Structure 1
């Protein structure tokens, strides 16, 4: 990759774990002057060999560039790294995984110190960084003018999706999508457990599982969203709550017969039963969403 270094925005990156290192390499490859800092200084050495400049302190790294990217362990690590550091006039982009509340607090903290602030939620794993066809991207929220200023630079490692001026919305999108992922993995884990002691090849079973989840996921997500927006939880329902709840004993009996704990499914089944007592058998599963609100 070639680039005109003279017109490439200088970047400072704090944090060189697996993700930070992957991010660093994409900016270097794109020709951005890069200053790096990591609490364990040895991690900067491979990047220095590739053209980065290592800073001895976080303060020195921040002073080197107007655009400062944070990719640290957690919110407490951000506090530790930037304690006493002058942020006046800096553009701070925080890719550290945090809660929405922490992101909002960090935005106020940065603004009080004279910096503009963007929060980010990375929807990728390190091998996806710098590989556009892998489909990774980063949610951003916070100062819209800051995002517009640096969008091209931020898009170098992965795609960008701006989700609003509320600094907490990138983290909220991040955690919401990851929560859905873990729910999917929980269901897949139960499915593999059911066949574990049978003469069923898990390698042959895996694509069947993938195909089924893919076929069900899209229509379910779209219908749930439409139901929540309209308030009509019965619209276009094919498999209604009454029918699905009636089928629960079969799932529990199969788990019992296969010697598998139903622990990953029972909480959701319980919510289905609870919703049935409050809603109507003709609605779909959307009403379970409302039961989770406290």
Structure 2
């Protein structure tokens, strides 16, 4: 089933939280016949006034369209919602946040039920959905045939980025980038804490913080994270002591830095001062 301007592809969407509702409105605005279901009926009824058909139950929603999109709470919710539902012949696109292992297991589960499966990792927040200039996109992996059949439909809410036939890779890319974001936010939180009690121009500091972290991100990616001769891991680990002393002097907790610094110290102690910091579990850990 492909998407043509004169014959828009019908879509069934199960799950109408903030993200699901944003997806629904984007497809409705683009003219796609949309059938929705939500555990809390009021959310579905709100979209009925905007042109969506409301299914009485998950089975009804799945039966209404060849393309079925899930945007539920978690992987366990998928089991609960689709228990006993006939999926034969359907193309199932799962935008429920999960792990790579869950994506692979869900693909096998869908195949056993006669459905083609595509997993997705949404790199956007609800206000970015349906707004191309916002830059949001979704990673997709799994059945290449199902993805290509519905690429145009999937690109309506946000950009679609294919990352391969391994159904776990969409979640892997998603979580990897979110993990990088978390580390970045931790570092920026620490940076702001250091200057908060000083007479520092907050706007100017924010500009410096943005440009510096962007430049370092480019440098990190260019080397694959490997330390260079001019600043190997041993030198960086030694320099960390100054960062810790400064935090103590400013009355700032070092908790956002301690774990990473310990990894660096351990790797230097193991005789690998020039390598990328490897997040390996200590010997003997589970």
TM-score of the superposition, structure 2-length normalised? 0.93
Q: For the Cα contact (< 8 Å) 1:11–1:66, is it kept in 2?
A: yes
Aligned pairs (5 A) from 1:109-148: 109-148=109-148
Alpha-carbon distance in 2 for matches of 1:200, 1:243? 29
**Is the counterpart of residue 38 in structure 1 residue 30 in structure 2?**
no
Alpha-carbon distance in 2 for matches of 1:10, 1:211? 44
Alpha-carbon distance in 2 for matches of 1:21, 1:109? 26
Q: For the Cα contact (< 8 Å) 1:187–1:264, is it kept in 2?
A: yes
Alpha-carbon distance in 2 for matches of 1:291, 1:96? 28
Gaps of 5+ in 1: 226-232
Q: For the Cα contact (< 8 Å) 2:263–2:279, is it kept in 1?
A: no
Q: For the Cα contact (< 8 Å) 1:87–1:115, is it kept in 2?
A: yes
Alpha-carbon offset, residue 237 of structure 1: 4.0
Alpha-carbon offset, residue 101 of structure 1: 0.9
Gaps of 5+ in 2: none
**Is the counterpart of residue 85 in structure 1 residue 77 in structure 2?**
no
Alpha-carbon distance in 1 for matches of 2:181, 2:13? 28
**Is the counterpart of residue 199 in structure 1 residue 232 in structure 2?**
no
**Is the counterpart of residue 289 in structure 1 residue 281 in structure 2?**
no
In the superposition, relative to structure 1, how do residues 290 and 198 fare at CA in structure 2: closer, same or farther (>3 Å)?
closer
Q: CA RMSD in A?
A: 1.8
Alpha-carbon distance in 2 for matches of 1:28, 1:132? 16
Alpha-carbon distance in 2 for matches of 1:280, 1:14? 50
Aligned structure 1 segments of 4 or more residues deviating by more than 4 angstroms: 3-6
How many residues matched?
281
Aligned pairs (5 A) from 1:8-23: 8-23=8-23
Alignment-derived partner of residue 268 in structure 1: 260
Alpha-carbon offset, residue 242 of structure 1: 2.4
Alpha-carbon distance in 1 for matches of 2:88, 2:181? 39
TM-score of the superposition, structure 1-length normalised? 0.91
Alpha-carbon distance in 2 for matches of 1:80, 1:137? 28
Q: For the Cα contact (< 8 Å) 1:140–1:163, is it kept in 2?
A: yes
Alpha-carbon distance in 2 for matches of 1:137, 1:222? 23
Alpha-carbon offset, residue 123 of structure 1: 0.5
Alpha-carbon offset, residue 80 of structure 1: 1.1
In the superposition, relative to structure 1, how do residues 272 and 29 fare at CA in structure 2: closer, same or farther (>3 Å)?
same
Alpha-carbon offset, residue 4 of structure 1: 7.2
Alpha-carbon distance in 2 for matches of 1:28, 1:37? 15
Alpha-carbon distance in 2 for matches of 1:4, 1:75? 32
Alpha-carbon offset, residue 292 of structure 1: 5.1
Alignment-derived partner of residue 176 in structure 1: 176
How big is each residue's C-alpha offset from its partner over 1:105-157, in whole Å with a ceiling of 9 and x where there is no partner? 11111111111100000011111111111111111110111111111111111
**Is the counterpart of residue 278 in structure 1 residue 267 in structure 2?**
no
Q: For the Cα contact (< 8 Å) 1:5–1:33, is it kept in 2?
A: no
Alignment-derived partner of residue 229 in structure 1: none
Please state whether the residue corresponding to 2:105 is helix, strand or coil.
helix
Please state whether the residue corresponding to 1:36 is helix, strand or coil.
strand
Alpha-carbon distance in 1 for matches of 2:186, 2:114? 44
Q: For the Cα contact (< 8 Å) 1:5–1:32, is it kept in 2?
A: no
